[in-house]
Amino acid sequence: MSSMSEKDTPPILTGKHYASPSAFTPESLLREARRQKQAAAQPVPDVCLLDPDGDIVQHLKAAGSVRLHEGWVCYHTDLYLFEPAGRAFGVVGCAVGSSFAVLVAEELFASGCQLLVSITSAGQITPVRTPPYFILIDRALRDEGTSYHYLPPSRFSAAPEGVLEKLAGSIADLRSPVLVGATWTTDAPFRETQAAIDSMRAEGILAVEMEAAALYAFAAARRRSVVCFAHVTNQMGQIDGDFEKGEADGATASLTLFDRTVTLLGY
pTM for this model (two decimals): 0.94
Query: pLDDT of the chain along its 267 residues, tens only?
Result: 445 666 788 999 999 999 999 999 999 999 999 999 999 999 999 999 999 999 999 999 999 999 999 999 999 999 999 999 889 999 999 999 999 999 999 999 999 999 999 999 999 999 999 999 999 999 999 999 999 999 999 999 999 989 999 998 889 888 899 999 999 999 999 999 999 999 999 999 999 999 999 999 999 999 999 999 999 998 765 666 656 777 778 899 999 999 999 999 999
Whole-angstrom distance, CA of residue 233 vs CA of residue 235 = 7
Q: Which residues contact 211 (CB under 8 A, 6 or more apart)?
A: 50, 52, 96, 97, 98, 101, 118, 120, 185, 228
Q: Which residues contact 40 (CB under 8 A, 6 or more apart)?
A: 34, 71
Q: For the chain, where are the E strands, in sequence order?
A: 47-51, 66-68, 79-82, 89-93, 115-124, 133-143, 156-158, 178-186, 207-209, 225-234
Nearest CA-CA partner of 75 in 50, 52, 95: 95
The whole-number pLDDT of residue 1 equals: 43
Within 13 Å and on the Cβ side, how many CA atoms surround 222? Answer: 26
Distances (CA, A) of 148 to 15, 152, 216, 228, 251: 11, 6, 11, 18, 32
* Alpha helix segments (H runs only) across the chain: 26-37, 55-62, 98-110, 163-167, 194-202, 212-222, 251-264
CATH of span 44-234+249-264: 3.40.50.1580
3-state secondary structure of 265: coil
- Sequence letter at residue 156: F
Beta carbons of 91 and 113 less than 8 angstroms apart: no
Ordered by start, the domain boundaries in the chain are 44-234+249-264
